[in-house]
Amino acid sequence: MKKVRWGILSTANIARTQFIPAMFRAENAELTAIASRGSKVHAIAQKFNIPKAYESYEALLNDPEIDAVYIPLPNHLHKEWVIKAARKGKHILCEKPVSLNAEEAVEMDKITLECNVKFMEAFMY
């Protein structure tokens, strides 16, 4: 079985407490990289044994070994980073709410379809 290689755009609490532990339990996923603006990302990567740490989101998106990204950024940043990830060919799991309004959601959906990537909101119910 081929594993999906994941990257995380942020060291947000929800990523550390929920997403990262879930990745380690998943048989079909591999946590490959994490990115954050600043040097604290290296300590987080070391703590969770994540092979790659990037000090910019762009660097993670440029990594050809990343298949999909989890985006737990503040809500107002979701649209920007969903679009950038899609244009880099990354599948996307975005924390809720996926957008600030319906117009943003429609635009994000259109671009992810054009880029032929999967796009999901991390909504558990």
Beta bridge partners of 121: 94
Residue in 47, 96, 110, 118 annotated catalytic: 96
Active site residue 96: yes
Q: Residue 81, Cα to own-chain centre: how many angstroms? A: 9
How far is residue 2's CA from residue 105's CA, in Å, rounded to a whole number? Answer: 30
Region at 5 (left for phi over 0; alpha for psi -120 to 50; beta for the rest): beta
Q: What residues are labeled active site?
A: 96
